[in-house]
Amino acid sequence: MIVLVEKHPGYWKIILNRPDRLNALNIEMHAALMAALAEADADPDCRALLVTGAGRGFCAGQDLGDVAVTKDGPPDLKDLLDRYNGLVRKLRGLAMPVVCAVNGVAAGAGANLALACDIVLAAKSASFIQAFGRIGLIPDFGGTWVLPRLVGMARARALAILAEPLPAERAAEWGLIWRAIDDDRLMEEAHALATRLAKQATIGIALAKRALDAAETNTFDAQLDLERDLQDEAGHTPDYAEGVRAFLEKRAPHFTGRR
Candidate ranges 31-39, 76-84, 171-179, 213-221; the one touching ligand LHQ (CB under 6 A): 76-84
- Using the rule CB under 6 A, which residue among 37, 48, 60, 123 binds ligand LHQ? 60
Q: Check if the beta carbon of residue 16 is closer than 8 Å to that of residue 53.
A: yes
Is residue 23 left, alpha or beta, with left meaning phi > 0 and alpha meaning psi from -120 to 50? left
d(CA 240, CA 203): 10
- Using the rule CB under 6 A, which residue among 49, 96, 100, 105 binds ligand LHQ? 105
Residue 107 makes contact with ligand LHQ by CB under 6 A: yes
Residue 236 makes contact with ligand LHQ by CB under 6 A: no
Pairing of strands 127-129, 166-167: antiparallel
> 13 φ, ψ to 5°?
-105, 125
d(CA 160, CA 223): 30
d(CA 249, CA 234): 21
Q: Least distance to ligand LHQ from the beta carbon of 164, Å?
A: 11
- Using the rule CB under 6 A, which residue among 12, 47, 58, 62 binds ligand LHQ? 62
Give the count of residues interacting with ligand LHQ (CB under 6 A): 24
- Using the rule CB under 6 A, which residue among 14, 22, 48, 177 binds ligand LHQ? 22
Write the CA distances from 26 to 31, 66, 67, 75, integer angstroms.
Answer: 9, 7, 10, 13
* Nearest CB to ligand LHQ, comparing residues 9 and 136: 136
Residues 131-150 that bind ligand LHQ (CB under 6 A): 131-132, 134-135, 137, 140
Per-residue binding string, ligand LHQ, 85-104, x by CB under 6 A, is --------------------
Pairing of strands 166-167, 3-8: unpaired
Q: Least distance to ligand LHQ from the beta carbon of 113, Å?
A: 9
The CB density around residue 206, as the number of other CB atoms within 10 Å, is 20
Residue 164 makes contact with ligand LHQ by CB under 6 A: no
Q: Least distance to ligand LHQ from the beta carbon of 43, Å?
A: 29
Locate all alpha helices (DSSP H) within 61-142, ordered by sequence. Answer: 77-92, 109-115
Q: Check if the beta carbon of residue 129 is closer than 8 Å to that of residue 171.
A: no
- Using the rule CB under 6 A, which residue among 2, 4, 5, 67 binds ligand LHQ? 67
Residue 108 makes contact with ligand LHQ by CB under 6 A: yes
What are the residues binding ligand LHQ (CB under 6 A)? Answer: 21-22, 24, 60-65, 67, 77, 80-81, 105, 107-109, 129, 131-132, 134-135, 137, 140
